[in-house]
Structure 1
């Protein structure tokens, strides 16, 4: 039977990101997700979790990050939930990627990548917790010559 989702709890330690990558691989194999989607998930989650650990839990070494990943028909939904300082990553101004490197402001490029890679990104503060929801749409299944989906 295929897994429909997973729940992983990470400590606020960057070494934990490898465990998450393993969990994503397990879910991806189980749900037969395409490789480009796995790449996008890993890159976006690595960026977001690194920021939570480095900035949100900077002074708190015993923080945790809950990650819930579920497949819903035509999409994969991932929730990152933490009790770090309130921070809406979507409030970060889009970087001017057309500007010369020396004229660009520092920061904001990571969330720009997340917005570019992920179909839908949402943030809310719920009971003193940050909740970031990422939604990736699954590609349509190929149709065979006789009209059946593979």
Structure 2
């Protein structure tokens, strides 16, 4: 269980791949400061990279494009709660059908694997559209 004064993390970036790389560097520093285990730190980085990269790749152009990606992480009991928010057009990646991972590669639809992996690495993953913003909340176990 983290100490009562466990550090939290917050960062806002533009929705572009270079900024996602800066986010990952900052998350590495947070993981060290928060004394996260290597597996937990890796899961956190993969989850947030995937979600931020989705906004950068799919939500940063065209009408209603996102202008920012805000990331926050805090301890809650025996978990880390990570939120990622953007002001782009409404899009719920959790509403998409899960990829058929048993199908042959040539028979699979393109896309969807990133969110599938994020679901596997989290205790809970939720989406809400509120006040003109997309908000994903990922809950990760502190053990493992």
Q: Which secondary structure does the structure 2 equivalent of 1:29 belong to?
A: helix
Q: Does 1:71 align with 2:75?
A: yes
The corresponding residue for 2:98 is 94
TM-score, normalised with respect to structure 1: 0.86
> Equivalent residue for 2:45?
42
Count residues in correspondence: 140
Deviations 1:56-109 (A, max 9, x none): 112377711111111122111111010011001101111110111111111111
CA contact (8 A) 1:17 1:46 kept: yes
Runs of 4+ in 1 over 4 A off after TM superposition: none
| Contact 1:13–1:61 (8 Å) recurs in 2 | no
Offset at residue 33 of structure 1 (A): 0.8
User: If the length of structure 2 is used for normalisation, what is the TM-score?
Assistant: 0.89
* Aligned match of 1:118: 122
Note the C-alpha offset of 1:5. 0.3
Structure 2 residues without counterparts, runs of 5 or longer = none
- Based on CA coordinates, which of the two structures has the bigger radius of gyration? 1
Alignment of 1:1-150 (within 5 A): 3-59=6-62, 63-139=67-143
Higher RCO (C-alpha 8 Å, min separation 6)? 2
Whole-Å Cα distance in 2 between the matches of residues 58 and 52 of structure 1?
10
Aligned CA RMSD, in angstroms, stands at 1.9
Q: Is the 8 A contact 1:74 1:138 kept in 2?
A: yes
What is the CA distance between 1:3 and its match in structure 2? 4.8
